[in-house]
Amino acid sequence: MTMLSMAQALNLALRDALTADDNVVVFGEDVGTLGGVFRVTDRLTKDFGEARCFDTPLAESGIVGFAVGMTMAGFRPVVEMQFDAFAYPAFEQVVSHVAKIRNRTRGKLSVPMVIRIPYAGGIGGVEHHCDSSEAYYAHTPGLKVVAPANVADAYSLLRAAIDDPDPVIFLEPKRLYFSRADVEPIAERRLGGAAVRRSGRDVTVVAYGPSVDVALEAAEAAASEGRDLEVIDLRSIVPLDDRTITESVRKTGRCLVIHEAQTFAGVGAEIAARVQERCFHYLEAPVLRVGGFDIPYPAPKLERIHLPSVDRILDSIDRLQWNDGPDTRWAVGA
């Protein structure tokens, strides 16, 4: 067991991948000499050389397009989009080429690449430095989308993503980069498994990335009110672990989904739909969501209002129809 920050765990995962496979290369803006804005690539250029970890021009579309070409030559690129909203200039490359080449070539070519994206809020970032863009990628067939919520998963999921034969969007919660934990670095075998972070009998709370810690904090607060919350950490948005979610909801009868992105057409909407399709006769109340508001990401001073909080989660828990009488809050116009 080693005490690591999330940034250090990601750095170790990159080091171990570079050591294990000569075809793994790391590149992006300021990942070389500087070691990345968040120091995730610290000393990789010094230790592995400029051919294995190098800086690129400030051109996200070029970075991803270059990576696509490298996969066709047998490499496994790991590229960094310096901030979440910086990745949008590369979106056409991701949607039109990264996600489609395997299908376009009938499986003759694959795109084993990882696009690392520091994402979400909680750091008081200005415009273009905080965003929650997971729904764009999750809605794109051909991509896998991963969001670790703790230090151990940062290591294991990144190793699995690099080894995966398909392209992976790897979302790294910025506000957790310097969280610390004792970790035994173990590489995940495959992507797609959720984890039950807290067992409970009353409500299933589904979260991922930076929202998992908030969900766990809310579960502690709810326990003092006599309500027992089960918290599921998705870990992987695509592929989605339907079985773990379904088994939990069939046990608890209630479900709440939490994420920082806007609630409209977000990942939570898909989870809510799947739960109601698979667990309809087990549900005691409608599936609810707690997410960001349907607005552009706010300025730093307003960020705490926008992001899901313990109080907002507890308020939603209270709406999950805990009595036998009619709940007029669901009436039309209420």
- Got the DSSP string for 182-251? EE-----SSS---EEEE--SSEEEEE-TTHHHHHHHHHHHHHTTT--EEEEE-SEEES--HHHHHHHHHH
Choice among 97, 129, 259, 306 that is catalytic = 129
Query: Any idea what DSSP says for residue 297?
Result: P
Which residues make Cβ contacts (< 8 Å) with residue 213, sequence separation at least 6? 149, 176
Residue 275 in contact with residue 254, Cβ under 8 Å? no
Instruction: Give the span between the Cα atoms of 271 and 262, in whole angstroms.
Output: 14
Are 149 and 128 in contact, with CB atoms under 8 Å apart? no
Percent helix / strand / coil, the chain, rounded to 5: 40, 20, 40
Q: Helix 6-20 vs helix 151-163: angle between axes, to the nearest 10 degrees?
A: 30
**DSSP single-letter state for residue 4:** E
Under 8 Å between Cβ of 234 and 208 = yes
φ and ψ of 77, to 5 deg: -75, 145
Strand 76-80 versus strand 24-28 pairing type: parallel
Could you give the CA distance from residue 190 to residue 114 in angstroms, rounded to a whole number?
A: 14
Question: Cα separation of 154 and 98, whole Å?
Answer: 23
Q: How many CB atoms lie within 10 A of CB 250?
A: 15
**Catalytic residue at 139?**
no
**Is residue 125 packed enough to be buried (19+ CB in 10 Å), middle (13-18) or exposed (0-12)?**
buried
Which amino acids are annotated catalytic?
Answer: 129
